[in-house]
């Protein structure tokens, strides 16, 4: 089962019920336990479902509603009139049903805003933390092991990943390239390239479109930080956001991103070759 298949199935998962005993749900839940990104998505989905359930439980039907429905049904001589009166009472501003319906609409509207806000205003810090977690904790580190940069970019392009990027000269095209991987962030594909550093650790470079972030890093000005105990460097260039994560003592990100090593004409030509 793929991540997307598990996500589709878990959209209708009901916790605490028979769903957990279903083999398909069990497989999807097992995958979520191993996949930090899927686990984070499932946690948000269950939180949303719980908020909706709590909101619905707070809406109480008026005590007189049952009696009014039964009374209207007993008016056999004028059923149409009884239904009309019931609907008039239902939409009356003096009716508790109207206020209950209005409260339900407000609750659901608030929940929709809550659910949409992370995607509409994705924070780069959250993205960085999730990518670092994937780089450090995922047993499945690479989708493809390939040391040819042109073939890697072609694979990323075929899988709808970000492929219009300029690599730092220190990475020097295929020099040290180990392979690549595709990840998801709020519905957007993220490309990851992994580079070895002469046996002294390695770096993972995550590449994504800048439009999803309201606080994308500065253009051509690497920002050095730490996330999850791992050194990171981030910058933007030509509508693309770069996040570099260092592994091991040899991963000196400042040295890799010295100003004189950040503009590779060779990689510009390679990137242009695969522009769609």
Whether residue 9 sits in one domain with residue 135: no
Alpha-carbon dihedral sign for residues 81, 83, 88, 89:
positive
Q: Does residue 274 or residue 73 have the better pLDDT?
A: 73
The answer to whether 227 and 158 are in contact (CB under 8 A) is: no
Nearest to 247 by CA among 194, 181, 178: 194
Q: What is the pLDDT of residues 30-49, one digit of tens each?
A: 887 888 777 887 887 777 77
Q: What is the pLDDT of residues 218-238, one digit of tens each?
A: 998 899 998 888 999 999 999
Confirm whether 82 is domain-assigned.
no
Q: Burial code of 36-73, b = ≥16 C-beta within 10 A, e = fewer?
A: ebbeebbeeeeeebebeeebeeeeeebeebeebeeebe
Confirm whether 19 is domain-assigned.
yes
Total of domains in the chain: 2
Q: What is the pLDDT of residues 99-141, one digit of tens each?
A: 566 666 666 666 555 454 444 456 888 899 989 998 988 888 9
Predicted TM-score (pTM) of the model is: 0.54
Task: Find the domain containing 244 and state its range.
Answer: 124-273
Whether residue 21 sits in one domain with residue 128: no
Nearest to 167 by CA among 192, 145, 202, 201: 192
Whether residue 128 sits in one domain with residue 37: no
Tell me the C-alpha distance between 142 and 94, whole Å.
63
Tokens 């970000």 belong to residue: 162
Confirm whether 118 is domain-assigned.
no
Q: What are phi and psi of 33, to 5 degrees?
A: -70, -25
> Residue range 15-42: average pLDDT?
76
What is the pLDDT confidence band of residue 142, given thresholds at 50, 70 and 90? very high
Tell me the C-alpha distance between 262 and 58, whole Å.
58
Confirm whether 170 is domain-assigned.
yes
Whether residue 264 sits in one domain with residue 148: yes
Tell me the C-alpha distance between 217 and 220, whole Å.
9
What is the pLDDT confidence band of residue 59, given thresholds at 50, 70 and 90? low
Last residue of a domain, one of 16, 35, 57: 57
Whether residue 262 is predicted with pLDDT greater than 90 in this model: the reply is no
SS3 category, 11: coil
Whether residue 144 sits in one domain with residue 256: yes
Whether residue 147 sits in one domain with residue 48: no
Q: Label residue 178 exposed, middle or buried (CB < 10 Å: 0-12, 13-18, 19+).
A: middle
Confirm whether 81 is domain-assigned.
no
Whether residue 258 sits in one domain with residue 128: yes
Alpha-carbon dihedral sign for residues 31, 35, 39, 41:
negative
The answer to whether 265 and 188 are in contact (CB under 8 A) is: no
Confirm whether 153 is domain-assigned.
yes
């Amino acid at each position: 089962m793929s991540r997307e298949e598990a996500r589709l199935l878990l959209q209708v998962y009901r916790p605490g019920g028979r769903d957990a005993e279903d083999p398909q749900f069990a497989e999807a839940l097992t995958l979520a336990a191993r996949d930090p990104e899927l686990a984070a998505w499932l946690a948000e989905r269950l939180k949303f479902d719980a908020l909706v359930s709590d909101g619905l439980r707070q809406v109480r039907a008026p005590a007189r509603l049952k009696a009014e429905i039964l009374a209207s049904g007993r008016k056999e001589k004028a059923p149409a009139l009884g239904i009309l009166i019931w609907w008039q009472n239902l939409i009356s501003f003096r009716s508790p049903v109207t206020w209950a319906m209005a409260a339900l609409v407000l609750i659901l509207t608030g929940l929709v805003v809550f659910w949409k806000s992370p995607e509409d205003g994705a924070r780069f810090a959250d993205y960085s933390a999730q990518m670092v977690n994937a780089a450090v904790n995922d047993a499945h580190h690479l989708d493809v092991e390939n040391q040819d940069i042109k073939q890697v970019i072609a694979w990323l392009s075929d899988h709808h990943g970000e492929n219009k990027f300029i690599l730092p000269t220190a990475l020097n095209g295929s020099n040290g390239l180990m392979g690549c991987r595709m990840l998801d962030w709020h519905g957007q594909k993220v490309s990851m390239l992994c580079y070895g550093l002469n046996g002294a650790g390695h770096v993972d470079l995550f590449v994504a479109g800048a439009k999803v972030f309201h606080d994308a890093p500065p253009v051509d000005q690497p920002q050095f930080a730490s996330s999850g105990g791992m050194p990171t460097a981030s910058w933007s260039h030509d509508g693309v956001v770069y996040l570099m994560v260092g592994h091991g003592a040899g991963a000196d990100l400042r040295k890799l991103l010295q100003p004189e090593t950040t503009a590779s004409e060779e990689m510009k030509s390679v990137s242009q070759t695969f522009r769609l």
